Amino acid sequence: MKILSIETSCDDTGISILDVKGGIKNASFKVLANNVSSQIDVHIPYGGVYPALAKREHTKNLPFVLEKTLKESKLEKKEKPVDAIAVTYGPGLEITLWTGITFAQELAKKWNVPVIPVNHMEGHMFSIFGKGKGKFKIPAIKTPILSLLVSGGHTELVLMKKWMQYERIGETVDDAVGEAFDKVARTLGLPYPGGPQISKLAEQERKCAPTPGVGEFSDTRCRGKFVLPRPMLYSKNFDFSYSGLKTAVLYLVRDLGGIDKINETTKAQIALEFENAAIECLVYKTVKAIEKYKIKTLIVAGGVSANNHLKKEIQKISKNKVKLFFPLQELTGDNSLMIGIAGYLNYIKNKKKTPKPNSIKAAGNLRL
Ligand code: KG4
Ligand code: ZN
């Protein structure tokens, strides 16, 4: 069957078409088209996503992205080009989720096809199977599975004892890790979205940081220059906290005389220590959860899974312990391909039962 999928939960307008077959554990996918229109340039002047503008941009972009996607799939002349529509209904910005949902509802009526509501975080989780083009399959995957989901709005550890049955074992008690990256970037005078910017600065600085046992680094300017807290690192649960870390950077910058008094090297040193602290908390709790639940498979997904330091640290701890999955770089951020994958798997899981299209509502705080 062919599934058209729509993603509008934040600032990316995504539409894909997948040709899919198979069951819940051996589904195979062929990408007919996969398009995303990013709004980053529109939001940069505001230093973050401006919801009303995001809604306007989605409304403007959706028809164009659809036309392009149908053309690329060579389905534009068909009366009923696809068999179902998958759409993100939460979590995310309600105002932008609605643009995708109403668009899906209109298309469903026109084509007389069902609508599959999809949880954005489940989409991120299944992004690990995807490819931007070509074919891919759901591989055999051993349970228990642990997912570390890290994005601009979420920081969660989700346990799957059985395939597609979720138990959230930990989450942030305040800010999400991606949000902390974005806010710290703003404090350091870096443009939105902050994650990649902080990460770039930290990577440069890490090159000059001493590597234990190597000793070839004579430049010690960044050695222990700043120390930031690792909130909740040793708490007995699997929760995270990023608000205090973000505020610690704010105070540090203030104590150094404000952003205008800080040179580029100092900025990079702060970025490095912030990244080290933020990632250490994620990795430490993930290790603890792997041990406690005897995890066989680890999934890391969401926008922050693009972070190189996170990837390296997770690779270190998972060696010989768990089978590790990260999404391809192009699928770490928001995209509709992952919504198509999650949509199909849910369609099969629910024995092809779907709600009445017009009963689907945006759920900004939807949880797994
Ligand atoms: O999943 P996503 O694209 O959107 C949400 O669902 O929120 O995640 C976006 C988040 C932003 O906070 C962005 O700064 C962060 O992912 N991000 C990164 C990196 N690339 C994107 N954070 C750290 N390092 C990166 N390389
Ligand atoms: Zn996302």
Which residue owns the Cα nearest ligand 1 atom 7?
152
What pLDDT score does 47 carry?
A: 84
Q: Which atom of ligand 1 is nearest to the CA of 92?
A: 6
**150 assigned binding-site residue:** yes
Query: Is the Cβ atom of 340 under 6 angstroms away from ligand 1?
Result: no
| Region of 240 on the Ramachandran plot (φ > 0 left; ψ -120 to 50 alpha; else beta) | beta
Query: Is the Cβ atom of 304 under 6 angstroms away from ligand 1?
Result: yes
Query: Is the Cβ atom of 334 under 6 angstroms away from ligand 1?
Result: yes
Query: Are the C-beta atoms of residues 144 and 289 closer than 8 Å to each other?
Result: no
d(CA 355, CA 347): 11
Which residue owns the Cα nearest ligand 1 atom 16?
303
**195 assigned binding-site residue:** yes
Position 5 pLDDT exceeds 90: yes
pLDDT in tens, 109-145: 999 999 999 999 999 999 999 999 999 999 999 999 9
Query: Are the C-beta atoms of residues 299 and 325 closer than 8 Å to each other?
Result: yes
d(CA 57, CA 92): 16
The beta strand positions in 267-354, using DSSP E, are: 297-301, 323-325
What pLDDT score does 216 carry?
A: 37
Cα of 91 vs centre of ligand 2, distance in Å, is 9
pLDDT in tens, 198-233: 999 999 998 876 544 333 333 334 445 899 999 999
Q: Provide the whole-model pTM.
A: 0.95
What pLDDT score does 311 carry?
A: 97
d(CA 232, CA 227): 16
Residue 23 exposed, middle or buried by CB count within 10 Å (0-12, 13-18, 19+): exposed
Q: Per-residue pLDDT averaged across 143-161, rounded? A: 98
Cα of 124 vs centre of ligand 2, distance in Å, is 7
In terms of Cα–Cα distance, which of 324, 325, 317 is closest to 291? 317
Which residue owns the Cα nearest ligand 1 atom 2?
303
Which of 304, 305, 312, 331, when mutated, tests ligand 1's pocket best, judged by the most ligand atoms within 8 Å of its CB? 304
Query: Is the Cβ atom of 152 under 6 angstroms away from ligand 1?
Result: yes
Q: Which atom of ligand 1 is nearest to the CA of 152?
A: 7
Kind of pairing between the strands at 84-90 and 115-119: parallel
pLDDT-based confidence at residue 25 (cuts at 50, 70, 90): confident
Kind of pairing between the strands at 12-21 and 28-38: antiparallel
Which of 181, 197, 299, when mutated, tests ligand 1's pocket best, judged by the most ligand atoms within 8 Å of its CB? 181
What pLDDT score does 46 carry?
A: 87
What pLDDT score does 225 carry?
A: 81
* Low-confidence winner among 83-87, 255-259, 282-286, 316-320 (lowest mean pLDDT): 316-320
What pLDDT score does 207 carry?
A: 82
Give the residue with greater pLDDT, 206 vs 163.
163
What pLDDT score does 209 carry?
A: 63
Query: Are the C-beta atoms of residues 164 and 233 closer than 8 Å to each other?
Result: no
pLDDT in tens, 240-295: 999 999 999 999 999 999 999 999 999 999 999 999 999 999 999 999 999 999 99
Say how many C-beta atoms besides its own lie within 10 A of residue 149's C-beta.
25
Question: Coil, strand or helix: which one is 164?
Answer: coil
Mean per-residue pLDDT over the chain, rounded: 94
Q: What is the DSSP letter of 27?
A: -
Query: How large a percentage of the chain has pLDDT more than 90?
Result: 90
Domains of the chain, first to last: 2-132+330-359 (3.30.420.40), 145-327 (3.30.420.40)
Cα of 339 vs centre of ligand 2, distance in Å, is 11
Cα of 157 vs centre of ligand 2, distance in Å, is 15
Tell me the CA distances in angstroms from 330 to 199, 248, 301, 302, 337, one per residue in order.
Answer: 17, 32, 12, 11, 11
Query: Is the Cβ atom of 10 under 6 angstroms away from ligand 1?
Result: yes
